[in-house]
Structure 1
Amino acid sequence: MMDISPEQARTLAAIVTHGSFDAAAVHLSVTPSAISQRIRALEAAVGRPVLTRARPAGLTESGQAVVRFARQLELLSADLAEELQPEEPHGRTRLTLVINSDSLHTWALAGLAAVAGRVQLEILREDQDYSLELQRSGAAAAAITTTAEAAPGCTSRRLGVMRYLPVCTPGFAARWFPGGATADALAAAPVIVFDREDDLQDRYLRSVSRTALKPPRHYIPAAHEFGEAIRWGMGWGLLPEIEVSEELQRGTMAALDPAAHVDVPLHWQQWRHGSAALEEVAAAIQAAARPLR
């Protein structure tokens, strides 16, 4: 049986968190030599490298599994302390979550607010297509992702579907789409894109034309400012239906094509061996996700 001590796992997590063996030694109040000995013993137990020898140090796939174990152990230890000494004051459990900007901007904060008095949260913003990598590395206990299949050591729960609508201002539509959102018009009209990893607008464009359309682009990597850029008439873009539906009803925003949409399924993945605090956050997120399709 593989014999990995909690001390070894915590040492590896400290190296990754603080960036070097020396920094981890300072954090753990031991010598750099002790850090090296622990990592050698850990790699002997695992039977393969856990670190890439680089600056800063990176994790191998095996190292990621060990760091997840260390983080989960921290959560379980906090649960145990609360159970054994309920009369003693314990610090709030710290949880790191990965949540995409649109979910934060539209619905997820309501769920997080419901548990903010009982846990300390660090939110890492990452696109839902890439968020799982941070969880696999051990950097986060849970993530909102488009991946339904559970990652190693994790569980997966369906949250729902975020529907995105291609929209612009009525004035922008009158100027750039007088004959409708044709392929020629979409090739010429400026489009707002979140960042260079954002594929939503191109997914819509591919649904309109088999030929790759390359309209002028403005990159605006912030959820609020992305929507404001569309509202200022800088270009068209896809916004969550739950954000823009009332504006469409009022006529302050126009749909490029009333029948067009892009659906993004969302799932909540978290460590399988989590904690009571993590389960509480998961329940709050699921409750907040009810407006999704």
Structure 2
Amino acid sequence: MHALDTAGLDCLAALAEAGSFDRAAQLLNITQSAVSQRLRSLESQVGHPLVVRARPLRLTEPGKVLLRYARQIQALRADAARELGSTLARDERLPIAVNADSLATWVLPALDPLVQAGQREGYGLELIVDDQDFTHDWLRQGDVLGCVSSVSQALRGCLCQPLGLMRYIAVAAPSFIERAMPQGLTRSNFSQLPFIVFNRKDDMQAQWVSRAFGVREPRLKERYVPSSEAGARAAEMGWGVAVLPELLARPHVASGALLPLLPDVTIDVALHWHQWRLSGDDSGTNTASNTAASTPTTGPARTGLMDQIGAAVIAGARAALSAVPAG
């Protein structure tokens, strides 16, 4: 196949981001007609329709393949612009997907030195939030260049590095315990008590109950609070039982605002960092860990921006999370 038209690839990426032709035209600062023409030219070049022209707009399977390529081209272009001292890097998005619990605990501190050092460059780091079991889908579909995920298998063309274990514990407010379960949380009363749940993808509470009481597919009374920090706050206010990351729960437990329930029962979720390999290094899955060990996240650096982001995520996670047991 001949070299793909980069203007068409930019249009495809803008359509995926914006969800419509008119909004894509605004992102690219061109007319809607020009977006359509460039997309048709790219479709003609590859011999496949790339976009389903519906409401909402969505990509075809060939479109998703090319979106991954377009995102990688954009990241490489941002790297080149940065090295040349060009302001073109400011227009490039560097999206990564993370789970909400990681975002609420260790991700921002991990990325902060890199973001602070890159203020003058102003590249468009974008954090996209989804459940850790689903962030990998964003990577596979080409919507992001890297992700924190519970998936351990690397996609072809990607590197994958283990980050550590995020431990979850069950907690509740002292007032809620006194009012709703003075005898404690038991196999006989858990189904009558409300559990605070992030969203309908979140099954951490059910996993914890299954482990605590040996119940398969427990049915819970759920109260949805779609924020990790707000879920902890809701638990403090006595809304119900919460199964929180230990990192998030720790200060609330230390202050006495929350009390652990069955502290010997925990859930450990192994997290991994995935990113598209942009540098042409085919040496295997150790690229990111080598970068993390050898490349500072502040000051001038010769590594690409995605490599720097990956190195920062890996270093920050390994400092905050529990290590995966050997073997």
TM-score, normalised to structure 1, is 0.87
Report the equivalent of 1:280: 308
Output the CA distance in 1 between the equivalents of 2:218 and 2:8. Answer: 52
Asked whether the equivalents of residues 3 and 45 of structure 1 are also in contact (C-alpha less than 8 Å), the reply is: no
User: Aligned-pair distance for 1:138?
Assistant: 2.7
Among residues 130, 134, 141, which one is paired with 2:138 in the alignment? 134
Q: Distance in 2 between matches of 1:46 and 1:235?
A: 54
* Contact 2:81 2:89 survives alignment (8 Å): no
Deviations 1:239-290 (A, max 9, x none): 1112223544565432221210111111111222167111111111112112
Contact 1:176 1:185 in 2 (8 A): no
State the partner residue of 1:111: 110
Q: Where does 1:40-119 land on structure 2 (aligned, <5 Å)?
A: 40-83=40-83, 85-86=84-85, 91-92=89-90, 94-117=93-116, 118=118, 119=123
Number of residue equivalences: 290
**CA RMSD between the two structures:** 2.6
> Using the alignment, how far apart are the partners of 1:151 and 1:245 within structure 2?
35
Long gaps (5+) in structure 2: 280-302, 323-327
Q: How does 1:145-156 map to 2 (within 5 A)?
A: 145-156=149-160
Q: Select 2:180's aligned residue among 176, 181, 185.
A: 176
The question of whether the paired residues in 1 share the 8 Å contact of 2:74 and 2:93 is answered with no
TM-score w.r.t. structure 2 length? 0.79
Question: How far, CA to CA, are the matches of 1:201 and 1:108 in structure 2?
Answer: 23
Q: Equivalences for 1:129-278 in 2 at 5 Å?
A: 129-207=133-211, 208-210=213-215, 212-248=217-253, 251-273=256-278, 276-278=304-306
User: Is 1:39 paired with 2:39?
Assistant: yes
Residues 220 and 20 of structure 1: is their aligned pair in 2 closer, same or farther, counting only changes over 3 Å? closer
Per-residue deviation, residues 18-69 of structure 1 (Å, max 9, x unmatched): 333455456363572x544543443344343322232232112221121222
Which 10-residue stretch deviates more, 132-141 or 23-32? 23-32
Contact 1:131-1:145 at 8 Å conserved across structures: yes
- Shift of the 79–183 alpha-carbon distance from structure 1 to 2, 3 Å rule, reads same
- % same residue: 35
